Amino acid sequence: MLGSPVWRGGGARYVFCGGLVLGALTSALALLIAGSLLRLALPVPFWRWLVVAASVLLILRELGVLRFWLPQNKRLVPEHVDRHGPVFGPLQFGFEMGTSVRTYTPSALPHAAALTVALLAGPLAALCCGAGFGLGRSAMALGNLYYSNDNSWDLAWLDHERLIRAILVIAYAISATLILG
């Protein structure tokens, strides 16, 4: 992905990152709207317990204690979006990756966050979650791009994966606890 024509050119990588954030915000708002309709069916305490139970399962999966399938598209967004030019190609590519609907998500935490946003979050929390997801994906993409041209990024990830996953689980747990409030 990072070697694709989408990344060539001056500001294309930042347009791509803008697309990531816009896509994530779009998903967060869609989850908020769909979840608002679901919330009408049962009282809030039911949704709180459902989010807590699902979060525990997803966190255990994230930490490698449990293994189970999660719904997702196990492929990347096709790189042919570069045919849309140096601005709209990277923007579309980033938007589609930011929504997480057309791409692989290697973590269970976005699923936990999506469920939390859909069933419990208000508009501000949903927007913060969407912006955080988009900025997090942007940080990973830019970090990989600027790290180096060899496999050292992947090796650094492997060296620190457990610590990074633990930090992300803690960050999710704190955020979800605030939303559960």
- Give the separation between CA 151 and CA 128, rounded to whole angstroms: 33
Which tokens belong to 57? 């399962």
Q: What is the pLDDT of residue 167?
A: 95
* Number of C-beta neighbours around residue 8 at 10 A: 12
Which tokens belong to 15? 């347009």
Query: Of 107, 143, 115, 87, which Cα lies nearest the Cα of 27?
Result: 115
Domain extent, residue 84, equals: 5-180
Residue 172 pLDDT > 50: yes
Q: What is the pLDDT of residue 5?
A: 47
Q: What is the pLDDT of residue 77?
A: 61
Residue range 28-70, pLDDT digits in tens = 999 999 999 999 999 999 999 999 999 999 999 999 999 999 8
Helix ranges (H only) for 39-151 are 44-62, 85-99, 109-119, 123-147
Q: What is the pLDDT of residue 78?
A: 66
Q: How many residues does the chain have?
A: 181
Question: Considering the chain, what is the average pLDDT of its residues?
Answer: 86
User: Kind and range of the H or E element at 4?
Assistant: none
Percent of the chain with pLDDT over 90: 56
CA distances from 134 to 22, 35, 47, 50, 71 (A): 7, 20, 25, 25, 20
- What total of structural domains would you count in the chain? 1
**Per-residue confidence band for 1, with pLDDT thresholds at 50, 70 and 90:** very low
- Give the separation between CA 32 and CA 63, rounded to whole angstroms: 27
- Print burial letters for 104-142: b (CB count within 10 Å at least 16), e (below 16): ebebbbbbbbbbbbbbbbeeebbbbbbebbbebbbeebe
Q: Are 94 and 7 in contact (CB under 8 A)?
A: no
Task: Say what the pTM is.
Answer: 0.86
Residue 125 pLDDT > 90: yes
